[in-house]
Structure 1
Amino acid sequence: MKHPTRTRRRWRAAVLATVTLTAAGVLTAIGATGASAATIDTNAWYQLVSRHSGKAIDVCGQSTADRACIQQWDRANQANQQFQFVSSGSGYYRLKARHSGKVIDVLDWSTADGASLIQWPDTNGANQQWRVIDTDSGYVKLINRHSGKAMDVWEWSTGNGGRISQYTDTSGRNQQWQLNKVDGGGSPTTPPPSGGWPTPTGQASVDGTVRVDSGEVRDGGMRRYCCIGDGSQEESQDPMFVLEDGATLQNVIIGAPAGDGIHCEGDCTIRNVWWEDVGEDAATFRGGSNYYVIGGGARRASDKVFQHNGSGTVHISGFYAEDIGKLYRACGNCSTSHQRHTVIDNVTVRNADAVAGINVNWGDTARFTRITIYGDADVCQKWEGAPKGEEPTLIGTGADGVHCIYRESDITRR
């Protein structure tokens, strides 16, 4: 079936792009510094950035499942936005996601305009193979071998979650991609252990819990928020921030005492938040399905940094922690025993007991990539969860491919 409104939008956008390029000219060409078809390094990892939106190709929710969707999202230093070009010969490549090992695939071998892209195990099928074609502006197009159609940001979206599809090759800016090599597998977004803590731009006095509404993005401008609670391990302390479902807190330094840190009441994003002294917990994830901690750091947590009480998955990327018990702990004796998951990528811990602790009897999983450990911390502790009021039991440590998922190459010890 024809989609005339889409055609008209594409035509108008193409005209606008032409006018913009004519006006911007040399400046646009200079700004595109990514790899070309001739310089692709099959040993490297790349972030693929849309010329139209400036956002990166992203596996939805850092999922490792078959059929997980492919979308665009704000650029972040995390493995679900990093892809390796695996040669299929004759100038075609598969695009393998770093976090899952799966490749970008045209759903159900479709040849239709608008067919969705997903991730799928690497079969080297023609619907997983892409030819890289240089444009005259320093960007590339990716043409599917099976359908002959181009990788495309559907309906010229500029928003997070915009679907990545295939569409007839129009050479539109929404079909052009910058290939940015991730140097050395991705530099941490947080300082090394010898680095300093961020310097506050100012002070924000807190005398009670600050609520961030559903859908709100609260940007602290790197001010220090202080103080609440008594700095102890007492769990009855009030949180400094409560994030409602869909809320984001970013660019905040949390001073001591920090009470019970941050409570996420639903899905939430915590971006570039720094805890000078955790006290009880830095953040507690209470209700929702996906929670994101992106960048930032924490220190002085005698127990754990992130406490996972609800269900769903906690995604932690680009984080630095020192002088802690565990970076992540799935609650081992909460009143409700959920199955819980965590995906931890590109983190550094120093002077820790463990990176993560999970409950294998409830089916928890923890997946690790690009972990740097200073000291002798366990990567993954396996516990037997217990009813509320009883204590969980540590029953093992280490990778098993089922609950604690990582390879030795994913872990660097210093």
Structure 2
Amino acid sequence: MALPRLARRYRWPILAAGVAAFTAAAAITTQVAFAATLFSDTFEDGDTSGWSKSGGTWSVVTDGSKALQQSNAGSENARDFAGTSSWTNYTVSARVKPISLSSNGFVGLLARAKSSTTFYRLALLPGNTVQLQAVNSGSVTVLGSVSRTVSTGSWYTLGITVSGTSITGKVDGATVGSGTSSVASTGRIGVQTGYASASFDDVTVSDAAGPGPTTPGPTGSSTPPTSTSPTPSSPPPSTTWPTKTGDAPVNNGTIQVSGTLDGGMKRYCCIGDGGQGESQDPVFELANGATIKNVIIGAPAGDGIHCLGTCTIQNVWWEDVGEDAATFLGTSGGTSYVIGGGAKAASDKVFQHNGNGTVNISGFYVENAGKLYRACGNCTNSYERHVVVDNIRVKSLKVVAGINTNWGDTARFTRVTVIGDSSHSTIICDKYKGVPKGSEPSHIGSGPDSTNCFYNPNTDVIWA
């Protein structure tokens, strides 16, 4: 059944145009479309249009960025719903932060809300418990449960995937549980509190019951995400570099970005010497939650882009990477996104992951580079890091991703197209043993497994 899309907040519908017909503008639209987003709300517009509340005290507040908050900790049952009642198979995800949580309270994300008392719920509970629940007229059946830290004042990424009678819940990339239930076959999404107050942000609904959110916590181990098939209808990324619309000289050092910077496909240049020096300044420094899009970065590009927290890099093209195209530095968990775009001439890495959390790379093209992604193996702090790679094209690339298995890193790959490598020498997943700063990580293997490197070499990698 085709799912109806919301007129107000859905973004980037899938296009039918072929790859050969791409213009620069069409390329970004199609590259982003793999997520098939039905609904998205970051609350940066400051309102709750499209949501309907029941109980509690709801408002948009500033909590790092703009967020939806339920502030009445004494409310027994506060709910806020969005979407349409005809939605069937989808994945809903949101960042959730309990502010107060009583001994009999909960904070939750809802899927297939058939009514105000019938739905599927992923709930953060006191006593360091997370449960996936089927709620039928207020009666709760637990489909899965896991013990993990639940702290007030901390953000968690919750996700529920509903596909037929199969229900799966994830928190920070780790599967809480899955089961079968026929409580609700269709329904809206929602957020909910009971005897608790909480903030909610970055609510997204995808019409594919495929990969759920993959946002690991900042420390400790978690169950790595399983490999599931993404939306098959989105075309592969373009290999044609866009034409600049103008020049934007970088005359005054690093450009600070908070909120969203839309470059309109201008070429930003230049910083640094084009080499591999570790002390070069970035062209852009993105604050937590910032987005940069529609930008061409010319050479020399210094240290590219620095993401200080989570960020979104959308339709950004590097003419010559130099040191690194982007470095992800955030240490509070969460997911950063690279959506569309491309990079050339990275003698070492394209994306460097020094912080923790997840980097999600989709619709990207890379040419003539060492590694597309590397989880730092000898930084000052040793974190568990995760990367999700989907629908990319690579040419003259040595390694798609390098991770540190001793720290619990994971990498998941789907729809990787390798161009012009008849000998199949490109390594999809390289494994290292992470070490303290000052030492050099040792290479310990490569290839798929069931613990760290998730992909099927026969179906997830295409040798073109």
TM category (shorter chain) comes to: 0.5 to 0.7
CA distance in 2 between counterparts of 1:206 and 1:346 reads 32
Q: What is the Cα deviation at residue 373 of structure 1?
A: 1.1
1:411 matched to 2:461: yes
TM-score by length of 1: 0.64
Residue 77 of structure 1 contacts residue 317 of structure 1 at CA under 8 Å; is this kept in 2? no
1:393 matched to 2:449: no
Which structure has more strand as a fraction of its residues?
2
Where do residues 12-411 of structure 1 align in structure 2 (5 Å cutoff)? Answer: 37=1, 48-55=3-10, 76-78=32-34, 95=89, 106-107=120-121, 108-112=133-137, 119=160, 124=165, 146-147=182-183, 150-152=186-188, 154=190, 161=203, 185-188=233-236, 190-192=237-239, 196-207=240-251, 208-213=253-258, 216-288=259-331, 289=333, 290-374=335-419, 375=421, 376-408=425-457, 409-411=459-461
CA distance in 1 between counterparts of 2:4 and 2:260 reads 24
Matching residue's letter, 1:389: G
Residue 49 of structure 1 contacts residue 56 of structure 1 at CA under 8 Å; is this kept in 2? no
The change in CA–CA distance for 1:230 and 1:372 in structure 2 (over 3 A counts) is: same
Residue 290 of structure 2 contacts residue 310 of structure 2 at CA under 8 Å; is this kept in 1? yes
TM-score by length of 2: 0.57
Structure 2 stretches lacking a partner, 5+ long? 13-29, 39-86, 92-110, 113-118, 122-132, 141-157, 169-179, 192-200, 207-229
* 3-state SS of 2:136 partner: coil
Matching residue's letter, 1:249: I
Q: What is the Cα deviation at residue 80 of structure 1?
A: 7.9
CA distance in 2 between counterparts of 1:380 and 1:397 reads 6
Larger radius of gyration: 1
Residue 265 of structure 2 contacts residue 295 of structure 2 at CA under 8 Å; is this kept in 1? yes
* 3-state SS of 1:161 partner: strand
- Deviation track 1:288-346 (CA, whole Å, cap 9, x = no partner) reads 42211111000000001000000111111110000000000001111111111101111
Which structure has more helix as a fraction of its residues?
1
Matching residue's letter, 1:77: A
CA distance in 1 between counterparts of 2:277 and 2:456 reads 37
CA distance in 2 between counterparts of 1:394 and 1:49 reads 48
Q: What is the Cα deviation at residue 120 of structure 1?
A: 5.6
Q: What is the Cα deviation at residue 76 of structure 1?
A: 3.4
- Deviation track 1:361-409 (CA, whole Å, cap 9, x = no partner) reads 1111001111111222100000111211111111100000210011121
- Deviation track 1:130-170 (CA, whole Å, cap 9, x = no partner) reads xxxxxxxxxxxxxx994467422559xxx951679xxxxxx
Identity, % of aligned positions: 49
Residue 88 of structure 2 contacts residue 186 of structure 2 at CA under 8 Å; is this kept in 1? no
Residue 357 of structure 2 contacts residue 385 of structure 2 at CA under 8 Å; is this kept in 1? yes
* 3-state SS of 1:109 partner: strand
